[in-house]
Structure 1
Amino acid sequence: MRILFLTSFYFLALVAFAQSNQKISLANAYYQEGELDKAITIYRELADEPQNVSFIHNNYLEILYTKQLNNETEKYLKKIRRWSPNNIKYDVDLIDYYITVNDSSTAEKHYKEVEEKVLQNLGYLRSAAQFFINKQHRRFAERLYLSARERMRDPNAFAIQLATLYRYNNQKDKMVREYLTYAQERQGNLRYVKNMLQMSLTEDEELESFVALVLENMQKNNNKDLYADLLIWAHLQLENFYAAFIQARAIDKRNQLPGENSMEIGQLAYENQEYDIAEMIFKYIVDNFSNSQNYIQAKQLLIKTQEMKIKNHFPIDTSAIRNLTVSYQNLIDQIGLSNYTLEAYRQKALLHALYLGESNKAIEMLNQIIKFPNADQNIIAKAKLNLGDIYIITDESWESVLLYYQVEKSHKHENLGELAKLKNAKLSFYRGEFELAQEHLDILKNATRREIANDAMDLSILIKNNTILDSTQKALRAYADVDLMLYQNKQIKANKALDSLIEEYEEHPILDELLWLKSRLTKQKGEYEKSIELLTQIVYDMPYGILTDDALFEMAMIYEELIDDKEKAQEYYQQLLTDYPGSIFVAEARKRFRKLRGDFVTQ
């Protein structure tokens, strides 16, 4: 009899469960179709049974809010809260209801009950905080974490949760403090903190405030390296390489390192064309760590930095170039010609070929690198590319084609291989083989390295713009000839040719390109004002040309770096930012403009 009774009971329960499921599915279907009156009728019936609540709660509650049935909403939430006193979600829903009806005092009363419940069992903390965040009540989530931190008597507890909360609230000062707290917990947290800060601190003023806060914390904390690391990160975001070097040098000294952190900052300064600071850093490493593994690289980079400074002032001082070759040779004599000094030897060869007119000597040196036993394949490829360039200068372009193709093949799908293809495209351009050049360039538009892709795109546009409407290609061939003269350093011949072409093609679309070449030539001769005149003609006579923003940026650079007229430079950077907001030069122009305006200190 007992077995029969239990069997009947379970059968009835299954029938009831199946009926409930059918009603839930029906109500949800009405809800999805927007038939809210039909849906709420079924939901009300289902809401009388506790086992149904989890299946209907969200939809039912939304309909109650939509229909503004406030009394029914309050009664329902209180009822299910009694049924499930440990379900924090229902507590939060009730608090959300009181906030919705502007009953802040009752909402606060219930919040304190939730807070006490959480503090008695911290296992509820994260889910309760997340429920508040989901309801857009982040201030309650913040209070929960802060109260739990106080109860635990641990000022560092829940730092990452609070930092994330403050990040979403855009409370950046509080966010930064919590991220600093989190970074202190263990070294592995530092990378994550930097990534989050990089997403959040996007303005220079915010980064400068961050620097001030880190310096403040640094005075109070023994973990100097952690704060120095963060300061380096912040200074690099601001491109304040000198300040970054100060912190890197301090880390090296504290940890008795042979300039490793300083070396990284020097390389970044060099890559960002901050040559004065880079030179100072490399010299510091050379002078203080002559017996370390960093010495050879620092010495090479020191000479290379000095080279870049000389090459950026016109006309180029060939006696200074000669002194650089002596510096390279002294390094090679000191260390010996080896895999460690082949790069220095390659750089020396380029100086002989490109600036001292000693092509034969350079060819001999580069061939020596190519044949050097067990040399790195990349240095061999670079030497081949350089050798190909020199053969163009000496009018032996078929040798250049062969060398470029060798590198294309040996470094396929790599930067050096793409660079070789670009050089072959440019060589085809010089020879008037525009279709062949275009075939190379079409491939290179998707090059891995952005600079190569941009150069390929520029040359491709030049060819298309001057062949579509000019079937004779006469103007483009004349331009390619004079461009080759400049590459071969035949400045006098190129100058005469440019003057003639500018007069002949003053109504032709290629005029801006000719003026650009002429401005480049006059700058190299140290005739800065003449260069400015030519660039001004591009900017104001051809305001919609493809070189207009290039010309504006070049004018500003000449005024800033060569004429030393900061006010004029600032004026042209501002014009570029205003008139050409889509230009690829905008980011660099903005940085230089703000630096000239004195928005932040660079040293």
Structure 2
Amino acid sequence: MRNIFIVFFFLIGAASFAQSELLAKNYFDKGDYEKAISIYEKLYKESPYKRDYLSALIESYQQLENFEAAQKLLEEKIDSRRTQPQFYVDLGYNFALQNRDTLAFDNYKKAIDAIDEKPNYSSIVAKYFEKYSLLDQAVIAYEKGMQINPELDFNIQLARLYGEQGKLELMFSRYIDLMQSRPTYKSIAQRNFSLYVTEDPENEANVILRKTLLKKSQESPDLLYNELLSWLFIQQKDFKKAFAQEKAIYKRTEEVDLGGMTDLALITIAEENYENAIDVINFIIENAATPSSKLQAYQYLMKVKLKTSEEKDYPQLEEQFEALISEYGAGKNTYQLQIDYNHFLAFDTKKVDKAITNLKALADEQLSKYQEARVKMELADILVFDEKFNRALIYYSQIQKMVESDVLAQEARYKVARTSYYKGDFVWAKAQVDVLRKSASQLIANDALQLALMIHDNSLEDSLQTALKKFARADLLALQNKNKEAITQLDDILTNHKGEKIEDETLLKQGELFEKTKQFTKAEANYLKLIELYKTDILADDAYYRLAKLYENELQDQVKAKEFYEQIIFNFADSIYFVEARKRFRMLRGDEIE
């Protein structure tokens, strides 16, 4: 029984201690330093070796400009039997806050001198210097430790600090040396390079990195230099030069590795740089070692052709698809190519019946569950396109059961909601997206939220949902590539439902369609009107961003582009466009982007 009471009181004491710590931190975070000190002094007295208490106590004293109390505490730590040189850094900084620079640097020197006796001190001393942004001293501490004990390795820390000091050549060289000795550091190095390298080839960091790599390559050729040059040219969107580097890599790897070339092909496609994409893909086709690699490259090529072809090219494209399927077979090995082909047949050439017949036959092949689900997804999408909504819903439901633990099932559920929305069954559509908002992947959850808000907001003031039905019809027409009809339908809403909640969505949707049909001045007018009428609403940042892109890329007005990017930076800090807007604004202004 006695032991039980001891344990009981120990637990009570521990809980009380933890509560005091939480309260002290709360006062500290709120800037109520006097109350924080009153608790931290007691905690520190009971646990003098807990660093968190000491740091919080010292900072609280300094915030109240009680430098003498902080000094006394630090000198006690320094004079104790367990002297630790990092406290000299703390003490030095305490003097620096009082503008007593001589005493500050004397203590910094003592911290660095301690490394002579014990090189392992270099890490903790350097970290304390970093804590106070004393980068020069941190570098000295790391370098001294490595000099005395070559077994110590602070190269990664030094490379980062050189960058923060603006010593870019030293930073790049150190990271490159690290990558040569430890290839696993490559992704870390490139992530840090991205802090300095921009799209501008004349940016200082870009120039220094390029010169550093070329110099090293001339001194002693290494595959790493080609890989990094390729990476640099990709950042600059100079895909032709990146392609040249990838060809050099391919030759030096004895013509077996096309991985980098494949990555470059995908990047150029994503960037819509189709001319270079075709060159890269053709190189892969010519040099592919296996039929499957060649087939994959052909799939990429057909995707590019689909993006760049006009209606007059469709018969030739259809022939090319059929030739590839004939060559590689109509089974599971070409299932993705067949999905792309039948999407093209239905959505572009309007040969819906042929596409449905083809996909049903493909679904009967010996496919994996995932492959069959993807085929049925395309089949359902085509049925929606053809306004066979109920049949489409059956396939979407099948997919959810087939791959219920996969994100594809979530996508199918979202498409059930979208299809119900096209049908005008808004209650069922909202029920589906409400489930997805809580459990789906981020991308699908965002789409679900947008659809849920659209239905909710436009059902409150219009119980018959007349405008919403018209908007859903316009959405379907846009899906069917009937852009002219969709624009007309949206005109109806803007004329007959002026001032209703749906007006902002309509202006935005119609603006997007004007862009798609290259009616850029009309798109501009829509976005400007949206901003004029709904400057503080949820879609305002979309309008600002689309206008900025429109001025930058289509209307060739860099001044206005800059102005609208700036609006996002200052007025929409939580916008999904914020980071890209800031980047584009700085690029247009000619900044060196850090």
**What is the alpha-carbon distance in structure 2 between the residues aligned to residue 93 and residue 404 of structure 1?**
64
The Cα shift of 1:416 comes to: 1.6
In 1, distance between residues paired with 2:239 and 2:314? 27
2:152 corresponds to 1:178: no
Shift of 1:264: 0.8
Q: Is the 8 A contact 2:455 2:468 kept in 1?
A: yes
Equivalent pair of 1:207/1:238 in contact (CA under 8 Å): no
Q: Aligned to 1:400, which of 366, 372, 392?
A: 392
Could you say which residue in structure 1 is the equivalent of 2:320?
Answer: 327
Cα RMSD (Å) of the superposition?
4.8
| 1:449-464 correspondence to structure 2 within 5 Å | 449-464=441-456
Secondary structure in 2 matching 1:506: coil
Distance 1:35 1:485 in 2: 67
Residue deviations 1:480-534, cap 9 Å, x none? 2343344445566656544444322224332344444544555555544444444
CA contact (8 A) 1:275 1:305 kept: yes
Per the alignment, residue 267 of structure 2 pairs with 268
Q: Distance in 2 between matches of 1:455 and 1:146?
A: 51
Say if 2:437 is the partner of 1:445: yes
- Residue correspondence of structure 1 range 499-518 to structure 2 within 5 A: 499-518=491-510
What code does the residue aligned with 1:248 have?
E
Number of aligned residues? 546
Distance 1:72 1:557, change over 3 A: closer
Determine if contact 2:552/2:561 at 8 Å carries over to the other structure.
no
**Quick one: structure 1 residues 132 and 468, their matched pair in 2 at CA, closer, same or farther if it must change by over 3 Å?**
closer
What's 1:279 paired with? 278
Q: Which position in structure 2 is the counterpart of 1:189?
A: 185
Matched, 1:142 2:139: yes
Paired with 2:536 and 2:174, the residues of 1 have a C-alpha distance of 50
Amino acid at match of 2:279: M
Question: Are the equivalent residues in 2 in contact too, given 1:552–1:573 (CA < 8 A)?
Answer: no
* Local SS of the residue matching 1:294: helix
Aligned counterparts of 1:196 and 1:495: Cα–Cα separation in 2: 46
Where structure 2 has 5 or more consecutive residues not aligned to the other structure, the ranges are 1-34
Among candidates 329, 338, 344, match of residue 336 of structure 1: 329
Deviation at 1:348?
1.0
The 2-side partners of 1:70 and 1:377 are apart by 67
Residue 50 of structure 1 is matched in structure 2 by none
**Structure 1 CA distance for aligned equivalents of residues 415 and 89 of structure 2:** 66
Kept after mapping to 1: 8 A contact 2:562/2:588: no
Segment drifting more, 176-185 vs 344-353: 176-185
What is the rounded CA distance, in whole Å, between the counterparts of 2:415 and 2:50 in structure 1?
68
Is the Cα–Cα contact under 8 Å of residues 258 and 289 in structure 1 kept in the other structure? Answer: no
CA distance in structure 2 between the aligned counterparts of 1:67 and 1:589, rounded to whole angstroms: 44
| 1:346–1:365 CA contact under 8 A, matched in 2 | no
Once residues 38 and 441 of structure 1 are traced to their aligned partners in structure 2, the CA distance between those partners, rounded to angstroms, is 53
* Residue in structure 2 matched with residue 252 of structure 1 by the alignment: 250
Kept in 2: contact 1:214–1:230 (CA 8 A): no
Question: Following the alignment from structure 1 to structure 2, what is the Cα–Cα distance between the partners of residues 133 and 552?
Answer: 40
Using a 3 Å threshold, how does the CA distance of structure 1 residues 99 and 453 change in structure 2: closer, same or farther? closer
* AA matched with 1:297: Q
Correspondence for 1:425 = 417
223, 226, 233: which one aligns with 1:225 = 223
1:10-42 Cα distance to aligned partner (Å, 9 max, x none): xxxxxxxxxxxxxxxxxxxxx998599999xx9
TM-score, normalization by structure 2: 0.74
Give, in whole Å, the separation in 2 of the partners of 1:571 and 1:178: 42
Partner of 1:571: 560
How far apart are residue 115 of structure 1 and its match?
Answer: 6.1
Task: Summarize the Cα distance change of 1:301–1:146 in structure 2 as closer, same or farther, 3 Å threshold.
Answer: same
> Which residue is equivalent to 1:214?
209
Q: CA deviation at 1:268?
A: 2.5
* Equivalent position amino acid for 1:146 in 2: E
8 Å CA contact 1:214–1:227 kept in 2: the answer is no
- Paired residue type of 1:571: K
The answer to whether 1:289 aligns with 2:285 is no
| Alignment match, 2:28 | none
CA gap 1:132/1:426 in 2 versus in 1, 3 angstroms: closer
Give the 5 Å matches for 1:21-32: none
Alignment-derived partner of residue 4 in structure 1: none
Confirm or deny: 8 A CA contact 1:232 1:243 kept in the other structure.
Answer: yes
- Structure 2: which amino acid aligns with 1:264? D
- Rounded Cα–Cα distance in structure 2 between residues aligned with 1:92 and 1:546: 49
* Cα deviation 1:220-253 (Å, max 9, x = unaligned): 3536333333444455555555554443333222
Q: Which residue in the other structure is 2:426 paired with?
A: 434
After TM superposition, the structure 1 stretch with the greater mean CA deviation from structure 2, 395-404 or 61-70, is 61-70
CA distance in structure 1 between the partners assigned to 2:110 and 2:401 by the alignment:
73
Supply the AA of the counterpart residue of 2:557: E
Q: Secondary structure at the match of 2:276?
A: helix
Q: Is the 8 A contact 1:491 1:521 kept in 2?
A: yes
Aligned residue number for residue 584 of structure 1: 576
Aligned match of 2:361: 368
Q: CA deviation at 1:377?
A: 3.0
Aligned match for 2:376, one of 375, 384, 409: 384
Counterpart-to-counterpart distance in 2, 1:334 and 1:342 = 14
Match for residue 356 of structure 1?
349
Return the match for 1:159 from 155, 169, 174.
155
The percent of aligned pairs where both chains have the same amino acid is: 23
Q: Which amino acid aligns with 1:307?
A: L
SS at match of 2:183: coil
In the TM superposition, residue 190 of structure 1 has moved relative to its aligned partner by 2.6
Compute the displacement of 1:395 (Å).
3.4
CA distance in 2, matches of 1:547, 1:195: 33
| Aligned-partner residue type, residue 284 of structure 1 | F
Equivalent residue, structure 2, for 1:28: none
1:259-303: CA deviations, max 9, x gaps?
Answer: 220111221232344434333322332234375653221221121
- C-alpha distance in 1 between matches for 2:119 and 2:37: 41
Counterpart residue identity of residue 281, structure 2: F
The secondary structure found in structure 2 opposite 1:540 is helix
Counterpart Cα distance in 1 of 2:155 and 2:425: 64
One-letter amino acid of the structure 1 residue matched with residue 556 of structure 2? K
Moved more, 67-76 or 317-326: 67-76
Cα distance in 2 for partners of 1:77, 1:486 equals: 72
Query: Contact (CA 8 Å) 1:426, 1:437: kept in 2 or not?
Result: yes
Counterpart code for 2:245: Q
Q: 1:275 and 1:125, CA in 2 relative to 1: closer, same or farther beyond 3 A?
A: same
The alignment partner of 1:412 has SS state of: coil
| Contact 2:169–2:209 (CA under 8 A) maintained in structure 1 | no
Q: Which whole-Å CA distance do the structure 1 matches of 2:223 and 2:416 have between them?
A: 49
Counterpart in 2 of 1:346? 339
